[in-house]
Structure 1
Amino acid sequence: MTSTLRRAGGFAAVGTLSLAAPALGVAAAAPFAAIALLAAFVITDGPLFELFARPGDREDGRLNGLASVSLAVTGLALLATVPREPMPLTVFVATVVGVTYGNLGGQLVTARREGPFVTVAGFAALGFPAAVAGQAVVAVVADAADPSALADAAPDFVFVAAVVTLVAALVRSALYERDDPVVLLSTGILAWVFGALVPSVGAVEIALALAVTVALGYASYALGTASVTGMLTGVILGLLTVVLGSFGWFVVLIAFFSVGGLSTKFRYEEKLDRGVAEDNDGARGSSNVLGNAAVAFAAVVGFAAASRFSLGTAVSAAFGFAFAGSLAAAMSDTLSSEIGGLYDRPRLITTLEPVAPGTDGGVTWQGEVAGVVGAALVAGLALLLMPLPGPAMLVTATVVAGGVAGMTVDSLLGATLEGDRIGNEAVNLLATLAGALVSGGAALALLV
């Protein structure tokens, strides 16, 4: 057994101590605070030091990694016991055991076969069931739950465990091993927030959501339309869109990713020769996914919050229109770029001067038509599958207007600011925000 694998097992053992939280109550943070102090100031050599020491720890003569992880868990334990509205103990335990056992699972598979996808698969294979089991143990110990009550809570446990596993795997993939404290804190807080927005999840709903989003996420990776981090980001957004919105919202979201991904691959070699192809063989990373879908996700969260806190049907509907408008903008911009880049004689949107293919802010009439068609596709799906109130023509026009506005903003930013000042992902984010504001703002003005 390698030292890395042994160390991961040691951290998992420390994480298991979180199962004592129901019995310890307000003292749940005490064991981890004690471990942090011992790691930082007492354990400087011997078997325990060798078990937990990372290369940098040996140079410093103290267990910095163990101390920082224990302090992060201490912080989560305080959030779960001290505030007036604390983090649920189930979320606390799911985060700690999900991350620590997930790291162990990743190291187990990496010992035999290396690769980012294999590591993530190993992380999920052990972290997810550990997070589910940890919540079940806490529920039994804390509430003396009978079997029927435990069965009723199982879908919620699965949802929290899925959020913990996916968020931790994504953050972990983007950071270094020594950044586990960041992974723990960010994962715990996000799981707490999303769990608060969803008081209860149906068994069929969560089972279908996980099956569909994971299957489509893997397909995007296998087809080369998404990197590992892009796949994880897409699965997280998809899962939360289903649970916070509905399957109809998810279909609109996945339509963008599917059509957008295929349009990127469409005549890719020709685009490569013309110098207008996406990098990384067209595979979308997490920054690309978030640049196009972060605003849509914020709209889903806003919709869930509006429903949760009874802010009114007009506000809820406005968030729905904002969601559709942002994705219409993303679809419109993607198709206008991917289709328009195949044609000659583009013109700069600000001056209409001819520019070389691939120039930021350059547009072709073929690309503009493709963009309008893409916005209309999103509008049609949103009309059929989402609860967007109003006459069909008005709903369609409102969403298409958001899509065209976002596409135009993207081109204007490309011609004026993109490059030295802001990057492509920031431009995409601002374009989708423009689409959301146009569609959501128009809907709110009409409905209030």
Structure 2
Amino acid sequence: MDSFFIGGIIFLCILSVHYRFLTIKGSITAFFTGLFIFLSFGWKGLIILGLFFLTSSLLTKWKKKQKQDGEACEEERYGRTAGQVLANGGVALAAAIFHLFLKDSVWLVVFVSAFAAAMADTWASEIGILSKKQPFHIKEWRKVDKGLSGAVSWLGTFAAIAGAAIIGTSCYYLYQLESVHMIILIIFAGFIGNMADTFLGAWFEQRFYCSVCKKETEAAFHCKTKTVKVYGFSWFTNNIVNFLCTLIGGIIGGGFYLWLIH
């Protein structure tokens, strides 16, 4: 039975490269992430992983042309890289490894809460950008262009809650948790992780200004012209923000779980 699931992980990783959901290195990283999750949390853990990966991949491709900034000069994308896989799944992978050796239920909560945060963040970004209204920037306290870090919308906020709720509800039924309050805890942890992502992006991620179209962007080149940096740190990449999002979500979920059971 174990070989069946491991073979399934390999097959899905190969399929992900074929459909450009993942790069080759991203696929290898995803395989080991899935392997440790399976060894630690069984096939149920793979379902949690699959819910995040499949929905995030499909949402990224959904209405892609409408969401992309056509004036931004970007490298051709061949799927999520190894860095992106670890940024979203690194905390869950660490929880799986710790659970293999320590066998404490708190690591399951950390694992699920981390993915709830990743799911909330992805859904907020990919769905929120389709909002018909301009988002509101939490740092500058004004409406800004869509797609900028630190910008929030009602559509994105509801999408974040829905994404975290799917992970929380799935965990409740898959692992037959004792209390329905665990769903609320996981949703809360996921949403707080998402909000942390928004605040970190608003204060630390780079933003540029295009002198041609007079718009703010996160691209170093826009309208075939080098943009002017407004603020932010070059080392504080989106991968770092996503990793911290899942780390905070995992800590919140695991921390409150330990507090509740004592």
Residue 135 (structure 2) pairs with residue 339 (structure 1): no
Counterpart of 2:120, as a letter, is S
1:424 to 226, 233, 238: 238
Question: Where does 1:307-326 land on structure 2 (aligned, <5 Å)?
Answer: 307=103, 316-326=104-114
The Cα shift of 1:277 comes to 11
Q: Structure 1 residue 391 and structure 2 residue 187: aligned?
A: no
Aligned partner of residue 371 in structure 1, secondary structure: helix
Match of 1:364 in 2: 153
Percent identity, aligned pairs only, is 28
Q: Paired residue for 2:168, among 367, 379, 402?
A: 379
Matched with 1:402 is 189
Query: Which residue of 2 is the match for residue 302 of structure 1?
Result: 98
CA offsets, 1:11-55, max 9 Å, x none? Answer: xxxxxxxxxxxxxxxxxxxxxxxxxxxxxxxxxxxxxxxxxxxxx
**Given that residues 238 and 254 in structure 1 are in contact (C-alpha distance below 8 angstroms), is that contact kept between their aligned partners in structure 2?**
no
Match of 1:437 in 2: 251
In the aligned structure 1, how far is the partner of 2:178 from the partner of 2:165?
17
Task: Map Cα deviations across residues 282-303 of structure 1 (whole Å, 9 max, x no partner).
Answer: 7100000100000011111111
CA gap 1:276/1:220 in 2 versus in 1, 3 angstroms: farther
- The 8 Å contact of residues 336 and 371 in structure 1, kept in 2 or not, is answered as yes
Contact kept? 1:244, 1:300, Cα under 8 Å? yes
CA contact (8 A) 1:376 1:396 kept: yes
Q: Equivalent residue for 2:200?
A: 413
Q: Check conservation: 1:268, 1:277, Cα contact below 8 A.
A: no
**1:124-273 pair list within 5 angstroms:** 204-205=1-2, 207-273=3-69
Structure 2: give runs of 5+ residues left out of the alignment: 207-231
> Cα RMSD (Å) of the superposition?
1.9
How has the CA–CA distance of structure 1 residues 304 and 411 changed in structure 2, closer, same or farther, with 3 Å as cutoff?
same
Give 3-state SS (helix, strand or coil) of 1:246's partner.
helix
Aligned-partner residue type, residue 249 of structure 2: G
CA distance in 1, matches of 2:109, 2:72: 32
Q: Distance in 1 between matches of 2:106 and 2:169?
A: 17
> What stretches of structure 1 of length at least 5 have no aligned partner?
1-203, 308-315
* CA drift at 1:280: 4.0
One-letter amino acid matched to 2:122: T
The alpha-carbon deviation at position 232 of structure 1 amounts to: 1.0
Distance of aligned partners of 1:268 and 1:281 in 2 relative to their CA distance in 1, 3 Å threshold: farther
Q: TM-score, normalised by structure 2?
A: 0.84
Q: Which has the higher strand share?
A: 2
- Inter-CA distance 447–233: structure 2 relative to 1 (3 Å threshold): same
Question: Equivalent residue for 1:329?
Answer: 117
Report the AA paired with residue 398 of structure 1. Answer: L
1:271–1:277 CA contact under 8 A, matched in 2: no
Does the Cα contact within 8 Å between 1:410 and 1:428 map onto a contact in 2? yes
Matched letter for residue 175 of structure 2: M
CA distance in 1, matches of 2:198, 2:43: 32
Q: Residue in 2 aligned with 1:197?
A: none
> Paired residue for 1:349, among 134, 138, 156?
138
CA shift for structure 1 position 351? 4.2
In 1, Cα distance between the equivalents of 2:252 and 2:45? 19
Quickly say closer, same or farther: Cα 1:366–1:275, change in 2 above 3 A.
farther
Does the 8 Å CA contact 2:84/2:239 hold for their aligned counterparts? Answer: yes
Matched residues in 2 for 1:443 and 1:291: separation?
A: 24
Residues 374, 282 of structure 1: CA spacing in aligned structure 2 closer, same or farther, 3 A cutoff? farther
Could you tell me how far apart the structure 2 residues matched to 1:320 and 1:279 are? 37
Aligned length: 234
- Quick one: which amino acid aligns to residue 50 of structure 2? I
C-alpha contact (below 8 Å) 1:276/1:358 kept by paired residues:
no
Which whole-Å CA distance do the structure 2 matches of 1:401 and 1:407 have between them?
A: 10
Identify if the C-alpha distance between structure 1 residues 276 and 373 changes in structure 2 by more than 3 Å, giving closer, same or farther. farther
Q: 1:391/1:279 Cα in 2 relative to 1: closer, same or farther (>3 Å)?
A: farther
Larger radius of gyration: 1
Deviation at 1:340, TM superposition (A): 0.9
Contact kept in structure 2, 1:276 and 1:341, CA below 8 Å: no
What letter corresponds to residue 123 of structure 2 in structure 1? L
2:155 maps to amino acid: Q
Contact 1:328–1:379 under 8 Å retained in 2: yes
Q: Which has the higher contact order (CA 8 A, sep 6+)?
A: 2
Report the alpha carbon displacement of residue 278 of structure 1 after superposing the two structures with TM. 8.8
Q: 1:330–1:275: structure 2 CA closer, same or farther, 3 Å change rule? A: farther
TM-score normalised over the length of structure 1? 0.50
Q: Contact 1:332 / 1:375 at 8 angstroms: preserved in 2?
A: yes
Match of 1:53 in 2: none
